[in-house]
Every structure is written in structure tokens, then in C-alpha cells.
Amino acid sequence: MTYRNSVIRMHPVAYWRLGESSGTTAHDEMGTYDGEYTLSPTLGVAGALNGDPDTAVTLARTSTQDIRFPVTPAEALTDTVSFAFWLNTTDKSVLQGIAGDQVSAGSARWRVTLDTSGHVSLVKTGVTAIINSTDLADGAWHHVVLVSQPGTNQSFVYVDGAPAGTGTTGNTTWNTASATARIGSFSGAQYYNGSLDEFAIWDRVLTADEVAMLYAVATGTYETQAKRINKRIIAQRGGKKRSGR
């Protein structure tokens, strides 16, 4: 079981491994939403996953480097969305954009940010839906999952496989087909400074068990954790287990 296979089995709308060693294309593993590395970020840096040779990308805020999408993944989203990614940074000097869109110059409808306390937030039309309370700008890799479910007015954040906060969310759709989606910035003004890896988007809620399984696979603890979690996920999806097996 690999992290890549685990993500793909969960059927994301888009999934960028960000493991290219050269070129300007950030390939979408789902085959639809390739992005473009802009202004030459550093490719091929050591990645987040234990035992996986796939690499990551490092973006420099002062060089306004990011990844841009001529066809925005947000056009496939309606109300519910989940983001999963790995980050590694020590910069807390300014508000930074991990992902978002640009409706017009300096204007974003949604964004994922890292603030000056090292906290990750999910913001939608100006309303902060969720924010974690842990400083993630500590120079280590962290797995972050953000979930927004407007139908129930709930949102969730997970850090390193565990719940890290809840909040409310607005009812505004994520569909911003007229906007330009980005990883590593939002609104064309706020840029991220650090490394990113394994960025995926879903048009559904990732469950706590799915999040925990992804982290277990990534950190090499699948044998002791993920098999138990995977059985529960299968049961929740209607799978059956024969008695005595």
C-alpha cells in the first residue's frame, strides 16, 4: 500500500504529487487539471513520505513562485470540499497563501492560508471556516486535511492524522470557473514560502478514518494502524465481513 494508491482509491477531483524533477508542468495524477510551475520554483527536494522516493517542491515567497491552473479544479466543486496536502516551512513573517483563487487582482473567493502564528486556515468569501491551533511552521513535514461541508454548516481540520479543530462554513459554492486557481498563493498577492507535497482535492467529505489511514500509510505505520482503519472504512461503505474470517 502506497500513499499515492491510497489517495487515488479515494477518487479525488485532482491530485498533484509535485514530484517533478524538471520542466514547468505539475501533473495531475487524475489526468485533468495539470498546472504550471511559475517563476522557477525548486523542484526535486526531499519529499514528505516515509520510504517513498517521490520528491516535493519548494516555493520562494519573495520570488512570487506558485503553481497556476488554466483550467481551474474549482469548476468541478459545488458545496462540499476536502483538501489534503503536506507542508514544511519555518516562515511566519507574513500571512501566506497555501492555495486559493484569484477572481480579480488582489481578490480571492476562497483560500487556504498560513498565518503569523503558524496556523492553517480555510477561508471562504471572507469568513474563516476553520483554523488549527498548532504552530506548523516548525521546519518539519505536517499532513493537513481541511474539510468544508456547507450542507451541515460544518468544517473540520486534521493535522498529522488527528482532529485539530472544527468550525462553521458558509453556503457559498466553491465553483469559481471564471477564477484562476493556484497552489502556493491566493489573489495574486499572498505567496507561500516553504515546501509542499502531495496536494489533493475532493468534492466530498474525507472521514476521520480516511484521514488517519492516509497519515498511517505516509508514515510507515500502516501495518499497525491502517489495516484496522481500512476495515472500518469498508464496513461504513457497506462491505461485509464473513464470520470466522
Which helix (H) or strand (E) segment holds residue 5: the answer is: helix 3-9
> What average pLDDT is seen over the chain?
85
Which helix (H) or strand (E) segment holds residue 82: the answer is: strand 81-88
3-class secondary structure for the chain?
Answer: CCHHHHHHHCCCCEEECCCCCCCCEECECCCCCCEEEECCCEEEECCCCCCCCCCEEEECHHHCCEEEECCCHHHHCCCCEEEEEEEECCCCCCCEEEEEEECECCECCEEEEECCCCCEEEEECCEEEEECCCCCCCCCCEEEEEEEEHHHCEEEEEECCEEEEEECCCCCCCCCCCCEEEECEECCCEECCEEEEEEEEECCCCCHHHHHHHHHHHCCCHHHHHHHHHHHHHHHCCCCCCCCC
- Could you confirm whether domain 3-206 is CATH 3.40.50.1820? no
Widest Cα–Cα separation across the chain: 62
The answer on pLDDT for 3 being more than 90 is yes
Q: What Å distances lie between residue 163 and 130, 132, 138, 158, CA to CA?
A: 12, 9, 19, 4
**H helical segments located in 68-114:** none
CA distance 141 to 55: 13
Which residue reads 508514515 in cell numbers? 219
| pLDDT for position 114 | 95
CB 216 within 8 A of CB 223: no
pLDDT (tens digit per residue) in 87-120 = 999 999 999 999 987 655 555 677 899 999 999 9
pLDDT (tens digit per residue) in 151-179 = 677 788 999 999 998 887 665 555 555 56
Torsion 228-230-234-240 (CA) sign: negative
Which residue reads 458545496 in cell numbers? 79
Residue ranges covered by each domain of the chain: 3-206
| pLDDT for position 244 | 40
Between 206 and 238, the higher pLDDT residue: 206
